[in-house]
Structure 1
Amino acid sequence: MLPEDCVSTILSLTSPLDACRSSLVSSTFSSAAQSDVVWERFLPSDYQELLLRLVKAFNFYTKRELFFYLCNPVLIDGGRKSFKIEKSSGKKSYLLSARELFITWATEPMYWSWQQHVPESRFTEVVELRTISWLEIYGKIRTQMLSRNTIYGAYLVMKISNRAYGLETKPFEISVEVGNQKVSCGTVSMTGHDKKKQLKNCKHTLRTMSIFASNDLIMSERNDGWMEIKLGEFFTGENDEEVKMSLTETKGYHLKAGLVIEGIELRPMH
């Protein structure tokens, strides 16, 4: 027979999933589970700053309404990033657009073609490789932008066009660095969905997670119509550090074409 505000405080110490389940217990729990006390706790601590970065403003009446709005991808920072939170945990995910990445010679029309308003992309632009002899793709983010004490996966979101060639000739090196420490690395070969990743484990450190299983697919399909390549994993911890994710050629020069890049996604691992 606890007061409703006490029940709300208790529910705020659980998770969004637990709060939704608890609302089925009784009318008191149902009412308590709607409280702003509960849903403000589940929102990211910097949610007010994030709202200022939205491309399209959103008017909301309750924190619960805001929470579920942010569970779907929204554009921020002038449309160069996409942000969302997970329904079950409230943890943050980002997708850095191709414009947010460092891509070798991406501003040269001879090598790369910037395409606008691709229907399946959430961004206004994606970039397609025309032809190039050396490929480097880097992305950066600060751990303070992500959820603390969380294992994240970094994924290159891409497609292979019909005019592709040369991508399967040699493997690419993938890596993730936190601060000045490489915490995940390996190689991938873009030879098809049924081929295996070939891995070179980095020296194990306390911050290095189990990188990948040897039977992971090179590319996996996403629900949004794109493919993804896992670049690695890292742990955010409590300190603010720079995370650098990359896909580069391991050695040699050869012509290649047909890689279409939407961006690099960072999302919590389960």
Structure 2
Amino acid sequence: MGASQSSQDFQPNLDENNYSIKPQYQESNNVQPIEKTAHSELGDHAKPMEKTRKTLQLPHNCETILKDADSPVNKSSMDNLVSQLHSGVFLNQKRKKYWVNKKLNKNCFMLFARELSITWGGDYRYWHWCYQKDTTSDEYIEVAELLQVCWLEVHTKFDIAKLSPGTLYQVVAMVMLRDEAYGWEDAVNFRLTLPNGHKVERKETLMNKPKGLWIEIPVGEFTTSSGNSGELDIYFHEYTAGTWKGGLILKGVAILPKN
């Protein structure tokens, strides 16, 4: 996820370093596309060959999202900015990652394990925190390894206004099962709760999943609209069976566009 890609989706004709950056939509969540405009700094009588300023359109709420970036975003040129958006930007001390899907030009997010509320996650008898290299960059991110627990419960919330409107999104849990994983015969319960109270629920058994590699476990799907606001509630658990389980590494939860 978040692989670096070219700037094909952002190709207005710009003179080098001569542009201003405006979000594609206003922060009020009322979707108001901004027209590309040409502006002469010399007034209406400027010669046709003189330089003009153009507006670079960015994905929904991009500027607001980038305020939480861990390091400065390179805005020295359109190509540099677009390349960084496609590669991904870490937010909130590497608790999240934001990037733009090149093909769809839509917002994507990864909520890493530290952004999740994990029951007993602070008790080192049950969970072990360690660093692993991010699969799409040279950075290291923190993951949570389940040692042993009979009460699995993970929960987080996300501001839905940061997602691209009019888009079908899927939420997936990113996990890895060790070869010695055990206790996953009982299905894990997954649930999304939308801001309007609508719930999307499903179950999945992890025992026969591939071992030793990152896999995506579907949590649910939903569609955004232009007026979306409020929080998306993401929750999964397995504690009704009362069986002990272990050998699972939790990277986080990804929110990805499908169209």
Same fold per superposition (TM over 0.5):
yes
Tell me what 2:124 maps to: 109
The answer to whether residue 143 in structure 2 is matched with residue 143 in structure 1 is: no
Question: Following superposition of structure 1 onto structure 2, how do residues 180-219 of structure 1 map, counting pairs within 5 Å?
Answer: 181-193=197-209
**Separation (CA, whole Å) in 2 of partners of 1:94 and 1:18:** 19
Tell me what 2:29 maps to: none
Task: Please state how far the C-alpha of 1:149 moved relative to its aligned partner.
Answer: 2.0
Tell me what 1:265 maps to: 254
Tell me the TM-score normalised to structure 2 length. Answer: 0.74
Q: Is the 8 A contact 2:59 2:105 kept in 1?
A: yes
Question: Following superposition of structure 1 onto structure 2, how do residues 96-135 of structure 1 map, counting pairs within 5 Å?
Answer: 96-116=111-131, 118-120=132-134, 123-135=140-152
Relative to structure 1, the CA distance from residue 133 to residue 250 in structure 2 (aligned partners, 3 Å threshold; closer, same or farther) is closer
**Separation (CA, whole Å) in 1 of partners of 2:84 and 2:78:** 10
User: How many residue pairs are counted as aligned between the two chains?
Assistant: 215
Tell me what 1:8 maps to: none
Alignment gaps of 5+ in structure 1: 1-15, 21-29, 194-218
2:56 partner SS: helix
Tell me what 1:229 maps to: 217
Q: Is the 8 A contact 1:44 1:91 kept in 2?
A: yes
What whole-Å deviation, never above 9, does each CA across 1:103-133 have from its counterpart, x for those lacking one?
11100101100012x1345553101001000
Q: Is the 8 A contact 2:10 2:82 kept in 1?
A: no
Q: Is the 8 A contact 1:39 1:67 kept in 2?
A: no
Q: Is the 8 A contact 1:173 1:250 kept in 2?
A: no
The answer to whether residue 103 in structure 2 is matched with residue 84 in structure 1 is: no
Greater strand percent: which structure?
Answer: 2
Tell me what 1:159 maps to: 176
What whole-Å deviation, never above 9, does each CA across 1:180-227 have from its counterpart, x for those lacking one?
52432111011324xxxxxxxxxxxxxxxxxxxxxxxxx799xxx621
Greater helix percent: which structure?
Answer: 1
Q: Is the 8 A contact 2:98 2:108 kept in 1?
A: yes
The answer to whether residue 190 in structure 2 is matched with residue 174 in structure 1 is: yes
Task: Please state how far the C-alpha of 1:262 moved relative to its aligned partner.
Answer: 0.7
Give the fraction of aligned pairs with identical amino acids, expressed as a percent: 25
